[in-house]
A and B are shown apart, each in its own frame.
Chain A
């Protein structure tokens, strides 16, 4: 009996954080070293998150890895509870000319804006049911927004008989995540000069999390075009 409870326990957790876990597998980013590096090939990537370390201990792989030399973690690779791979990815996308401090500030400021907007909504809501529906955590909003704006298909230009066909096909997780972030940022930058980035980005994220707005429409337009070109799908080869 206890065995079943042991199995169900992590499962229930999985269901709760399913969307986050799905993304984490595609988000494992490691510090990029341009070749040639000072580290030989057998140096392993650091495992810095406590959850990953716990998994290693559970699988009895820690002893094997402990003997292998490991690269040092980058400054953003931390075991802090505030570390979030998606947020750090987003900051890198927002960053221009290596100005990470500004990028981080912008993202944090837009999180603050989201929080303010959602708290205002929370206090304006009259019934407890309405209040329960409002997501107050900006990171949850971000995850939801990205999940809603990730495309399922892509159009690939394939040349057949001198004509380039736009052929619909499946998209990898990594590319769809990239497109989602790119579209969100493009939608944000398409704004009046007087509106600041954090303000607009907060609105875009809230819209996408609500499954409305420019980015979701863009995704649906892509899906529409894929549907219109479905006759060409046979041209695809892998």
Chain B
């Protein structure tokens, strides 16, 4: 375990260096924006809309006293989506989608000696391959999470209106009530940390792959599991640090 941490930090030391050629770095960064961000939009949108809808319906079904106003449905949905569901659940989904992609891509390059080929050319392979991925994830994930927040709240509204459990007016009053802008800061801070975890842990497991196709698969699984566990742990730590 200690050796694994040591290897991770040594790799990160090589990753966080000035790129060999900035032109190449920008080119790769934009490629990663597309593959890590744009290509994840679909799954983020679907999950967010349904997550918001379920959250709103569950809240509405659980309000069985006239003392609690139905505006609470909008309020609870917004809080749930902004504080927890979008930053954490979507990050867990991205750990699966993006994490396995990064680990298998780098793992395959490792076992087919493409990484050795980079090293032989005198190129810092860790910096060349991993820095654009980490940078792209850190920059693009907050946008994905913001989109997820809007779609989640929209999903809640859609569910309420189509089932007639809550009126559109009540729902909108609810989502506008007691809004604290700090909750957005909290959510985006978590998102950036989770994005770093997803990209760096997955790249690490890909980079240390040895063997063949089976080992690439195993590295990919380890990347998803470890980054998911780390996201859960850091969620608790960051919540403790930022909200108390």
Q: Do A and B come from one complex?
A: no
B contact residues vs A (CB 8 Å cutoff): none
